[in-house]
Structure 1
């Protein structure tokens, strides 16, 4: 079976690794030119994401690229401690939460893909998808084409593959929050090794952690109207500090000082999600990751769920007799979990308590265990 993977980010590389482990012939097509910078700030990769990477043989490399987080501390706007608790998976080095730059995670996964001999073609911008009974044909902006048995769209929030599957699919919606990200070596917030601090501010949700080398990574979620395209194009770090500091200064927390100490490494995005994608597949094409179930960043599960997707899809393609059966099995396994996460993230972004997806740890472990067949 030949698998065409559209998108060379986290989800796409993970799908390529899963396809390779399943004994399939995969190739990755990435729209950005070779050597282009990866966009995005830092992320925390939770236990479930690390567990999925272990099934793909990439956990050790990712663990080495980041630093561990073993404890979460929550404080309120007065600086008072609300709770401190250990994070899941902290007893096992390869399932411990990791903090790392998104670009580093992409780099490590691409390196793993290349080490396994999976081709990665850069500058391949998808423009068309055509399926028939014998396979799928991908057309690219430069006029080239590629033919395979399956096409997997790992091309993100504004997925071309999703639109090809369902031309009437609704566009991403604004999730109600602006999300700021930054990092600095000039801040000295109260911290402890392996701890991520969450601050329940009076006008924001703030989080930060400090690397072993003294770099403070932080994010801030603010409920506000979306920034316009003109705002985003015309702004910059100084403007984003102007927007943030008046919201943070009234609180007796380190948040404002961290932002004030941040220089050019500061960015903002409008949080967007996909409330429900009706069709994950059509013909020989299927979507994974943000292309299928983008959520606001409130639960911090986007990358981890994309990695889970890859493992389950690889197993489905391996364990089923037909492409249709594989797609049906994949969606049956994944949709309840990821739709639940999207809803939970939306609730948190709206300032409401979140109803977490209901799935037992044993059930998830069985889905991710490469040697356990998918249930019929």
Structure 2
């Protein structure tokens, strides 16, 4: 197959515009097709962009724009939920910039604004219903009766990817890890500092202070049956708040943070899900990027960062390897080991969140000792946060 010069990108969330920007830098023109009829600006919660993700965004000229919308997290602290005291803390990794928390809607706006400034088309109301391939190109068919053609088609359409099912009809589906997610605002009065994590008696809590002094929190609650975001939001917020207060009734400071939260201040999200290992990332002229190929749970803090990394690496491979099978194979070779290692890390975090009271008590005793001896911050997170891509290095087959 000859080199790709044009691309169709299915999915206009985070991975779609980032991939289009990376391809533009590699000399490939792309159009993004989003299933929904309008942008998702103003929709979504808070996500973390780690140092490795920030560096990948820097390669696309987005570092300053993301810095303006993100709040730096100067480190993290593990809190004993029984008394509110800090068990351990660290101020981040030496030589690494702090991670940044951003509202998903703000990141979405920055990416779409940059794509528009670069002349990258983003078309809405384009729900993919079929793909036709030929020896010279690929054509996407949309529900509105229109079509679009290019040299390659990239699935950036998320955890329930249509493109993934075309590449491999037997591909696995997302897997629920037994946790429903919520977030809200606690009382004002704090000072910005590290992100705090507390494994409570029945549920997990994370919290931090916004620049204006408000305290934001999120909770992962064990829940037997997965509810989609739409289903979860059909349940009155007051009922969810009652459950959260019961689940954190014995936890400090969770009960004090959640107690004053009103129904209007509660964010109800969907189930915590992961993508099992996807056997096939590409086929012929089709390839996956972002959550459609790899989606570790939010416990990793790496979902957005991995998507940006993969977009950049895919663009490099297509730039340097004109033969599409070689380019796609090199892309998978560069990405699969890393994303699987991050997924395994996140799975261990989920197991701890869903563990019983005895296991949590043991971890509360053992973890501080391990942090002083075996598991230094550099050893635990250096491999993940210190990952860097050399854009100018030539990719070889």
Q: TM-score under structure 2 normalisation?
A: 0.86
Q: Any stretches of 5+ residues in structure 2 without a counterpart?
A: 356-362, 364-374
Distance 1:247 1:357 in 2: 29
Aligned to 1:374: 395
Q: Secondary structure, in 3 states, of the residue corresponding to 2:109?
A: helix
Q: Secondary structure, in 3 states, of the residue corresponding to 1:275?
A: coil
Aligned to 1:32: 36
The 3 A distance-change label for structure 1 pair 51 and 324 is same
Pick aligned residue for 1:84 from 83, 86, 89: 89
Contact 2:40-2:105 within 8 A present in 1 as well: no
Contact 2:50-2:385 within 8 A present in 1 as well: no
Matched ranges for 1:319-334 at <5 A: 319-334=320-335
Q: Which has the larger radius of gyration?
A: 2
Q: Secondary structure, in 3 states, of the residue corresponding to 1:321?
A: coil
Distance 2:78 2:191 in 1: 13
Deviation (angstroms), 1:224? 2.7
Distance 1:35 1:328 in 2: 33
Does residue 146 of the first structure (1) align with residue 148 of the second (2)? yes
Aligned to 1:364: 387
Q: Secondary structure, in 3 states, of the residue corresponding to 1:28?
A: strand
Deviation (angstroms), 1:127? 1.0
Deviation (angstroms), 1:223? 2.4
Distance 2:38 2:163 in 1: 21
Distance 1:121 1:359 in 2: 39
Aligned to 1:345: 346
Q: Secondary structure, in 3 states, of the residue corresponding to 1:242?
A: helix
The 3 A distance-change label for structure 1 pair 223 and 362 is closer
Aligned to 2:243: 243
Q: Secondary structure, in 3 states, of the residue corresponding to 1:83?
A: strand
Deviation (angstroms), 1:74? 1.2
* Larger CA deviation: 158-167 vs 341-350: 341-350
The 3 A distance-change label for structure 1 pair 363 and 215 is closer
Aligned to 2:48: 44
The 3 A distance-change label for structure 1 pair 37 and 198 is same
Q: Any stretches of 5+ residues in structure 1 without a counterpart?
A: none
Deviation (angstroms), 1:369? 2.0
Does residue 296 of the first structure (1) align with residue 297 of the second (2)? yes
Question: Residues 79-132 of structure 1, C-alpha deviation per residue, up to 9 Å, x if partnerless?
Answer: 12111101237x66xx43111111111111111111111111111111112222
CA RMSD of aligned residues (A): 2.4
Distance 1:157 1:63 in 2: 27
The 3 A distance-change label for structure 1 pair 363 and 60 is closer
Distance 1:198 1:52 in 2: 27
Contact 2:188-2:214 within 8 A present in 1 as well: no
Q: Secondary structure, in 3 states, of the residue corresponding to 1:344?
A: helix
Q: Secondary structure, in 3 states, of the residue corresponding to 1:293?
A: coil
Q: TM-score under structure 1 normalisation?
A: 0.91
Deviation (angstroms), 1:361? 7.2
Aligned to 1:282: 283
The count of corresponding residues between Structure 1 and Structure 2 is 367
Question: Residues 147-182 of structure 1, C-alpha deviation per residue, up to 9 Å, x if partnerless?
Answer: 011111110011010011111112111112112122
Pick aligned residue for 1:11 from 15, 21, 45: 15
